Structure 1
């Protein structure tokens, strides 16, 4: 999970992304997805609304490391020694958690953040056999990726669940980006996953990935999360 920029307030901090390229799947096994799509060992996600840049951040804290997502990418910050609250820092970027409030410091200034909600992380126990889950609303849809083979299940409001094999057209670990496409000609689908702060349209629940599904001539958008064993 590389240090990617968190938008205008945290700009000038990312290295050039690795050029995307097609990736073969060895021995018909499911691919390893970028770590920026997962909560790590954290139990859940916290949503933060920050000013003056009007940024929306998501954090996942396991007590030693903070995974932090903005609308533009992801960071991973180790814990630093501090007398009050929990502070995480990587170079000139720091996140100081003081309960329901937090201070984000960058070379370009400060963000004052207010906690705006939280969500328990999806687990393999509650989602057996699933490596990644995404869903959206208006209209409703859901996609799950199997943990062992390159197969996904797609379900929409107008079509029952179907299981389809997929190919990887983009796998960029540094950017936290994955694009999967149908392995067969029909029915065509494309699933794009990008590490970045995402909020459920109805509940505002925080997720670490933005997801776009193209399927049966329609395009769907929503949020997702990687699910570790």
Structure 2
């Protein structure tokens, strides 16, 4: 028996009906040299890898689901919970496809609303909870870079796009912009998991409190799907935990190895750990850089 997420992916890759299509951009793609997400709509797919978007069309295939760009220089071939990726100028990469264990969630403000999606079923709380309903999702269609679901019985259209979104009240970052159209009303909000913006490939630290790291001893850190943090200061390795709330993030105490290094590297390590401990929120800059903020402003920038 496959886990819920893999069951959906297997059914989809084997040509199951539209109801089996994984929702939104929930399908994570982890390849040998790339990581990102993919969303499906009809015979098209939107693949996002390290800041680049690939518009794909489904091609005839004897097995699985095969997609390619119009020029054919990028190919994405699903086989159950795995895929083969070929990006222009690179060789073939094996990829793993996974779905999160938690329902997709989106929310917005003024008036407050919350949506959750689990196994193809949408639950809605609108107008600060005064209106509630559940409904089976229709198959999505593509509108530009958005995936759109229409629920005519509730006069509702749900549109989501893979863009950084900041909650209007808390400032928390999310990976998707969400638009609800309810009759003549249009409501905006954010969706997806904040963790998806942070987890995955390593972050190479570029500045700590505005200072550039010691040449040749670049610190780095990584964040896993189970909220574990690991990295190197340029001297010692460290590890700890991360907490994500509706308002921001907080790094827990970091345990580090105890190797002695030159004074400049020890000072860099102290500054790095202090920066992490003071972090209360983050943002993803337009150029893809991770910016950690403390009470008085940016304390660290990093890039993949």
Answer yes or no: same fold by TM over 0.5: no
Q: Which has the higher helix share?
A: 2
Pick the structure with greater CA Rg: 2
Q: Which has the higher strand share?
A: 1
> Normalised by the shorter chain, which TM-score bucket?
0.3 to 0.5
**TM-score scaled by length of structure 1:** 0.43
**TM-score scaled by length of structure 2:** 0.34
